[in-house]
Amino acid sequence: LAKTTQPISMDSYEGQEVNITCSHNNIATNDYITWYQQFPSQGPRFIIQGYKTKVTNEVASLFIPADRKSSTLSLPRVSLSDTAVYYCLVGAAWGAGSYQLTFGKGTKLSVIP
Amino acid sequence: DTEVTQTPKHLVMGMTNKKSLKCEQHMGHRAMYWYKQKAKKPPELMFVYSYEKLSINESVPSRFSPECPNSSLLNLHLHALQPEDSALYLCASSQFGGPTEAFFGQGTRLTVV
């Protein structure tokens, strides 16, 4: 199983860009990298997924270097409503025949006014 | 409709009780999952149903029994639970992205007394 490591917590001011890095040194060839956001007493919400290079959607960007041993979630211009726990997940996508999923321990992001 | 609905939202049960958690999705997803999440920990995958067939996580005790009546419904039957089974139980579903790109319900907060 890929072991993932991410910072326990981060603070940021409103309007700033936030980058959260996850390390996954033994990521497997079939593994994708996915980020989820979770608010208290709610289920995680899918943010973004990637395999390599850069992926961007309407809420975030995901940067994955060529060796894929780390990934960085970038949240542009955060607001107070972005205060949440962010999980990095490494695991095989559909069809790989594996359900080996490794969630990171989560990064608690606190956005300060 | 992009929701996964779980009922009940809260459940308190004794160690000799039998209860069931229910999950429903109407997104046409063909895979559904049960996760367990303890406080301040990441979700742990318990069971996966793919096209209504079960893939079992071997570390799940037999006091947890999943059931998939059809592609939209997922149940988790609980019997003879222990206080350490108290947790947030999350249901999720996915289509082509597999277990790493899933929509989660809000969860059932279970307390075993």
Q: How far, in Å, are A87, B25, B74 from residue B29 at the CA level?
A: 23, 8, 12
Strands (E), A7-112: 9-13, 18-23, 31-38, 45-50, 53-56, 61-64, 70-75, 84-92, 101-103, 107-112
Please give the pLDDT value at position A101.
75
C-beta atoms of A42 and B106 within 8 A: yes
Opening angle at CA B75, ends B70 and B77, nearest 5: 140
Q: What is the dihedral of CA A80, A81, A84, A86, to 10 degrees?
A: -110
Taking the CA of residue B109 and the nearest CA in chain A, the distance in Å comes to 8
Q: Which of A58 and B48 is assigned the larger pLDDT?
A: A58
Q: B50: pLDDT confidence band, cut at 50, 70 and 90?
A: confident
Please give the pLDDT value at position B95.
83
What percent of chain B clears pLDDT 90, i.e. is strictly above it?
70
Please give the pLDDT value at position B38.
96
Say how far apart CA A112 and CA A6 lie, in whole Å.
21
Q: What is the pLDDT along chain A (113 residues), one digit of tens a residue?
A: 668 999 999 999 999 999 999 999 989 888 889 999 999 989 999 999 999 989 999 999 999 999 999 999 999 999 999 999 999 998 876 555 556 677 889 999 999 99
Chain A interface residues facing chain B, Cβ-Cβ under 8 Å?
Answer: 32, 34, 41-46, 49, 87, 89, 91-96, 99, 101, 103-106
Please give the pLDDT value at position A99.
65
Say how far apart CA B79 and CA B110 lie, in whole Å.
13
Please give the pLDDT value at position A93.
63
Say how far apart CA B101 and CA B19 lie, in whole Å.
29
Q: What chain A residue is nearest to B31 in terms of C-alpha separation?
A: A94
Q: B52: pLDDT confidence band, cut at 50, 70 and 90?
A: confident
**Could you identify the residue written with the tokens 């409503």?**
A81
C-beta atoms of A99 and B94 within 8 A: no
In a 3-state reduction of DSSP, which class is residue B27?
A: coil
In a 3-state reduction of DSSP, which class is residue B52?
A: coil
CB pairs under 8 A between A and B: 62
Taking the CA of residue A29 and the nearest CA in chain B, the distance in Å comes to 15
Residue B54 has pLDDT above 90, yes or no: no
Residue B30 has pLDDT above 90, yes or no: no
Please give the pLDDT value at position A28.
87
Tokens of B47: 């069971």
Q: DSSP letter at B101?
A: S
Q: What chain A residue is nearest to B110 in terms of C-alpha separation?
A: A41
